[in-house]
Amino acid sequence: MNTEDINFAYRVRHALNEKLDDLPSATTDRLAAARQAALARKKAHVEVRVTRTATVMASAGGGMFADPIAWLSRFSVVLPLLLIVGGMVGVYQYEHQQSIQELAELDAAVLSDELPLSAYLDHGFNAYLETREQ
């Protein structure tokens, strides 16, 4: 809702409250009956269930180590996540090392070759090398 809608709602409420004392008794009786019927149809209040972990933490001033079972359940969620992240980091490091080794081998092959480096920039020479390999 924007501010204009809110201001309009406040003005309507104020106008209705101004004339509240002037209503006939029959109207106020009908409004009271409607309110009672609405309250009778209202759903019963639902109890809030308290878990054992919350009870232990509240009574013991606990923390994560107040209940060993709760601690293990939290750890059982975190451990697989840590293993997945560690595995992904390991795979990344391995792939990175492989690419470094491949580039190093390529650089060593280019530098130890008898051709000058300018030959590799010639597109015609690259075509010649590809046809020669076939």
What is the DSSP secondary-structure string of the chain? Answer: --HHHHHHHHHHHHHHHHTGGGS-HHHHHHHHHHHHHHHHHSPPPPPPP--HHHHHHHHH---TTS-HHHHHHHHHHHHHHHHHHHHHHHHHHHHHHHHHHHHHHHHHHHHHSSS-GGGGG-HHHHHHHHHHH-
What average pLDDT is seen over the chain? 79
Whether the CB-CB separation of 57 and 63 falls below 8 Å is answered with yes
Residues 87-96 have pLDDT tens digits of: 999 999 999 9
Q: What pTM was estimated for this model as a whole?
A: 0.37
Which regions of the chain are under pLDDT 70?
1, 46-67, 117
